[in-house]
Structure 1
């Protein structure tokens, strides 16, 4: 094997495994909410749909603005690879404070518009009321989550994903404990808050994650949040441009997710509730596999900074292989416990039957997702934001939407949504893999 300048499976796994654990913490919080609420005695279907709709909107905003994590990680890892880390000290607090400000502004703008927002998702009656109440509390966490994500990006850029893992898993544990306590209540001690209990649990988890992230920032890195200078750092413009392009890329993703929820809710509450379960499982799997994309992001940016072509080839091959292996393991486990998984999320017979008839599509997508996510992560580390933006817009406009419209027309219903997602991911995987190999060939010449 050609020299890769010390890039080994151990290097990759030491970043990927903590990143997997950190990455699944957020969808694990959502999955816990779905599982707990789906088994409530009253309004379980409406509550499940409400949490799914709010989760979709929250994810749309958080993923879009959390692209600051990706751009700052790219800048930090490139600076690390070129031995210029000392030149970006003042950039970090500027990025974090920008995220905090954005989080506050978004809450102030969206909270009063909650009724209008969730009406767009086809929410009605009890589902709409629950969605509004749930969102009003969950949205308080915007500045907390966005600032934590920026700090996680710094950690990834300096080739450490363990600190983000500790923060994320701590938040997830807090959420699970409080979910069961506040949703169902404890006789004579704590009343059952239902859907709102899940909202309070999630907010508490976000507070815990930020506190732990700040601890590691101050104890383990040279960067300080309070050392803010008002003169913009020279690389702040690059950060904003990267973030803007990653922002637009994520808008394209969220258009697809929004349309999926709108169509699913339009088929009926049971269809919308089933889609909420499937989407949360899909996101959980995605973040699980995305740990290898995080490793590709961190190492890829560093290797590009040091112009290590052989290392990049090895990184692409190895992270893709690991991602596919994990995807196959997930498929096997879920195949063995197919019906059991459905029962964990709902007692409603209609929702359960819809789940069984659609979940297989989610499963067979996973190896394709693995390839797409890994190369997406590497391209992020390279700072190829505009290319990723254009790719996602193209695939959403010319693959996902036409497939959804055609399959919906022939009455595929939930299957229409998930086949459209499968074709969308197949396009991402194929195009990014080809682009990666062409870029490596160009660098060699």
Structure 2
């Protein structure tokens, strides 16, 4: 754990240095989860199209089961960063411990629901008869790693709030390496097929959680923060995260609707959609690295009562987001011939991929602004607005996406609907940041 750097002048150069120092290592940590899924997709994809289609459905469900609780990271980052800005490190870590205990409780509850519901949920999700058994197998096994995944989220939030994004990077590198090695060994070496991929991911996630807990517990003892569960603190943590839960549920509903529509278009379409969605998630997490820096920086500035610093940092990060989005879009177009063969040899799947990837590339500058402003408002603790704004976005996207199978256009039309969703989201976030209502200073947001 590192101490928060001292505040410097509000120049573009000073903000650039701080953004880079936090965002570069944050990028490595953020891409761990999509790289887990990407590695699984590449390995399972060569087992066959039904297996890859099954992974597509199961991965969407599993990611939803975990990602709806991403407030364990985001709300914790903002709260801890405010305490750091106010100079109360012990209270910052104590607040983080409440988040970790909440993660364990939620993880146990999610397992209890997911295991018996796996098969009916997969069928309800629209998986074909050939893909459904593979989806069910992967989902049931992977669900056992959910508590570890949630602990990783909460502990990562603690470290980010303390302005430490390097430790999550080191843990992520170790986790991804272990996941890839375990998947190859269990899928092909042990002959376990898609089940081996799921077990490899579970083992890797548990190892990452153990590493995070070791770091956080040492920091808590060093600063005199209690490790015991505190009912009032856990309850307060859950209440603070409720708006972000609504926001994340709405976002996950968007992604689930998109995957459900793709599943009804056919096995080739859902297989192609899984590859595109995996790439889209990787790009999103790359942009979100700057947003993570924004959460930590904005929270610290507001906790220290520096509204001018928060505004200046926000402006600079938006500029970073736009430029990064343009660069990523160009890379997607240029690298298409290189990465498509890594995921599939099916000509039908490849034909569906090509035009869809162009749409994803065109939408990256919009995504850059969206993720940056989302991070700024999270860092400010502006959860209620984020919740309402995302509900509006869902209301716009759902009817458009659900009409795709009826009106035609296939996977290409579905991803144009995704671009529309991101555009509406960008407008809602821009209006909020322009209003200045998100700027509330103090160690705790009133």
- TM-score, length of structure 1 as denominator length: 0.92
Q: Name the structure 2 match of 1:77.
A: 81
Q: Give 1:108 shift.
A: 1.4
Which digits, 9 at most, give the CA deviation of each residue in 1:400-437, with x for residues without a partner?
A: 12322444432012122211110111111122123212
Q: Name the structure 2 match of 1:293.
A: 291
State whether structure 2 residue 442 is matched by structure 1 residue 438.
Answer: no
State whether structure 2 residue 123 is matched by structure 1 residue 126.
Answer: no
| Contact persistence 1:323–1:367 (CA under 8 A) | yes
Q: Name the structure 1 match of 2:418.
A: 421
CA distance in 1, matches of 2:236, 2:382: 12
| Contact persistence 1:183–1:193 (CA under 8 A) | yes
Q: Name the structure 2 match of 1:227.
A: 227
> Number of residues paired by the alignment?
432
Segments of 5+ residues of structure 2 without an aligned counterpart are 1-7, 442-446
Which digits, 9 at most, give the CA deviation of each residue in 1:44-90, with x for residues without a partner?
A: 11111111111111111211112121111111111111123333454
Which digits, 9 at most, give the CA deviation of each residue in 1:320-365, with x for residues without a partner?
A: 2222222222222222222332111101110011111211111111
Q: Name the structure 2 match of 1:247.
A: 245
Once the two structures are overlaid, the 10-residue window that deviates more, 376-385 or 298-307, is 298-307
Which digits, 9 at most, give the CA deviation of each residue in 1:191-241, with x for residues without a partner?
A: 3222112111111210221122122213445468972144523xx554222
Q: Name the structure 2 match of 1:372.
A: 370
Q: Give 1:309 shift.
A: 2.5
SS at match of 1:160: coil
Q: Give 1:248 shift.
A: 0.8
SS at match of 1:337: helix
SS at match of 2:31: helix
CA distance in 2, matches of 1:88, 1:57: 33
CA distance in 1, matches of 2:404, 2:109: 39
CA distance in 2, matches of 1:74, 1:20: 18
Relative to structure 1, is the Cα distance of residues 267 and 14 closer, same or farther in structure 2, using a 3 angstrom cutoff? same
CA distance in 1, matches of 2:437, 2:14: 16
Structure 1 runs (4+) greater than 4 angstroms displaced: 220-226, 440-444
Which digits, 9 at most, give the CA deviation of each residue in 1:108-155, with x for residues without a partner?
A: 111011111101111132311111111111111111010111010000
Segments of 5+ residues of structure 1 without an aligned counterpart are 186-190
| Contact persistence 1:4–1:308 (CA under 8 A) | no
Equivalent positions of 1:197-276 (< 5 A) are: 197-221=196-220, 222=222, 227-230=227-230, 232-233=232-233, 236-276=234-274
| Contact persistence 2:94–2:226 (CA under 8 A) | no
CA distance in 2, matches of 1:231, 1:357: 52
Q: Name the structure 1 match of 2:116.
A: 112
Q: Give 1:3 shift.
A: 4.2
SS at match of 1:126: coil
| Contact persistence 2:326–2:365 (CA under 8 A) | yes
Relative to structure 1, is the Cα distance of residues 365 and 264 closer, same or farther in structure 2, using a 3 angstrom cutoff? same
State whether structure 2 residue 11 is matched by structure 1 residue 11.
Answer: no
Q: Name the structure 2 match of 1:357.
A: 355
CA distance in 1, matches of 2:23, 2:93: 26
| Contact persistence 1:328–1:366 (CA under 8 A) | yes
| Contact persistence 1:134–1:195 (CA under 8 A) | yes
| Contact persistence 1:75–1:239 (CA under 8 A) | no
Relative to structure 1, is the Cα distance of residues 88 and 308 closer, same or farther in structure 2, using a 3 angstrom cutoff? closer
CA distance in 1, matches of 2:344, 2:229: 52
State whether structure 2 residue 203 is matched by structure 1 residue 196.
Answer: no
Equivalent positions of 1:178-189 (< 5 A) are: 178-185=182-189
Equivalent positions of 1:141-160 (< 5 A) are: 141-160=145-164
CA distance in 2, matches of 1:192, 1:132: 18
CA distance in 2, matches of 1:435, 1:421: 22
Q: Name the structure 2 match of 1:188.
A: none
Once the two structures are overlaid, the 10-residue window that deviates more, 314-323 or 28-37, is 314-323
CA distance in 2, matches of 1:38, 1:441: 45
- TM-score, length of structure 2 as denominator length: 0.92
Relative to structure 1, is the Cα distance of residues 305 and 409 closer, same or farther in structure 2, using a 3 angstrom cutoff? same
CA distance in 2, matches of 1:207, 1:114: 21
Equivalent positions of 1:92-103 (< 5 A) are: 92-103=96-107
Q: Give 1:39 shift.
A: 1.6
SS at match of 2:68: helix
Q: What RMSD over aligned residues (CA atoms) do the two structures have, in Å?
A: 2.2
Q: Give 1:252 shift.
A: 0.6
Relative to structure 1, is the Cα distance of residues 101 and 344 closer, same or farther in structure 2, using a 3 angstrom cutoff? same
